[in-house]
Amino acid sequence: MATTVFTDGNFKTEVLGAKEPVLVDFWAEWCGPCRMVGPIVEKLAQDYSGRLKVGKINVDENSETPAQYGVQGIPTIIFFKGGEEKKRIVGYQPEEKLKTAVDCVLTV
């Protein structure tokens, strides 16, 4: 499963209204660490297909949602479950750390 593109317009429906847990990657094209974490996020989308919705929101093209959630540095990954923020990771993190976070969110 590929990642979903989240926007200010579809965030409420796609993320907050999702039945499954959601990983949201807040990123920008010019951000080096964002480009490093991007392939890891894509892999997580495949590895957890059917159990976790995975998507990205470009902070340059969508300013309302990052402001609403206090995203000040990128990449920021926020996990949502039942429409609520459950976990937040700021900055580049290796795949194993992100997998541990996913597993934690899935078991809560």
Q: Looking up tokens 């429409």, which residue turns up?
A: 83
Q: Domains in the chain, please, with CATH? A: 4-107 (3.40.30.10)
How confident is the model over 3-30, as pLDDT tens digits?
899 999 999 999 999 999 999 999 999 9
pLDDT at 1: 56
Catalytic member of 22, 23, 24, 31: 31
How confident is the model over 44-97, as pLDDT tens digits?
999 999 999 999 999 999 999 999 999 999 999 999 999 999 999 999 999 999
104 part of the active site: no
Give long-range contacts, CB 8 A cutoff, 24+ apart: 57-63.
Answer: 57/5, 57/6, 57/7, 57/11, 57/24, 57/25, 57/26, 57/27, 58/27, 58/28, 58/29, 59/26, 59/27, 59/28, 60/28, 60/29, 60/30, 61/7, 62/6, 62/7, 62/8, 62/11, 63/8
Catalytic member of 22, 23, 24, 34: 34
Q: How many CB atoms lie within 10 A of CB 5?
A: 13
